[in-house]
Structure 1
Amino acid sequence: MDKTNPKKAVKELTMLLMYLTRFKERDYFGSDLDMAWKGYDFDIINELDKEDYIRQGSHRSKSVAITDEGMKLSRELLAKYNISDWK
């Protein structure tokens, strides 16, 4: 198995941690959003936002919304790293 370079690993593991520690929050229209706290490297957060895996909204907010693409990527990363999802 090929090794993952450190920058890519940090990005993938950040996405995984956000997914595994996510919580539900209702938006203004009553829809449930998968949210995560923003306590990770800001450059990585900005990259994930730019790639549409998360949405920061305001850069001042302390949480991010995980997009459908981010949820899909996270589930793929669970399989890649052989981590069980929550039941």
Structure 2
Amino acid sequence: MDIDEDKIDAAALALLWLTLHDERRAWKGLDWDVTDRLFKKGLIEDPANKSKSVVLTDEGLRRSEELFHSLFARQSR
């Protein structure tokens, strides 16, 4: 199966928005390959540390909320 990693990254970033705390921190709970790609895209700060959370960049924070609403919000009737 050919997997679209950009779609995986978008869903992962949207899910990070669910666990936001301290304004821009989100709990680490994603695959390391995914967090590495999000870091390389400039959406989170370097996840390779002892912290149990990742820090979203300004762009990552904006995109995570945007993606969360577009992927998971119910459409109003």
TM-score, normalization by structure 2: 0.74
Instruction: Say which of 34, 37, 44 aligns to 2:27.
Output: 37
Instruction: Say which of 39, 53, 56 aligns to 2:46.
Output: 56
Runs (4 or more) in structure 1 with deviation over 4 Å come to none
Q: Specify which structure has the bigger relative contact order, considering alpha-carbon pairs within 8 angstroms and separated by 6 or more residues.
A: 2
Distance, in Å, in 1 between the alignment partners of 2:68 and 2:47 is 26
- Between the two proteins, the alignment pairs up a number of residues equal to 72
**Could you say which structure has the higher strand fraction?**
1
For residue 28 of structure 1, what is the aligned residue in structure 2? none
> Once superposed, what is the RMSD of the aligned Cα atoms?
2.1
What runs of 5+ residues in structure 2 fail to find an aligned partner?
none
TM-score, normalization by structure 1: 0.67
Task: Point out the structure with max Rg over C-alpha.
Answer: 1
Distance, in Å, in 2 between the alignment partners of 1:19 and 1:40 is 13
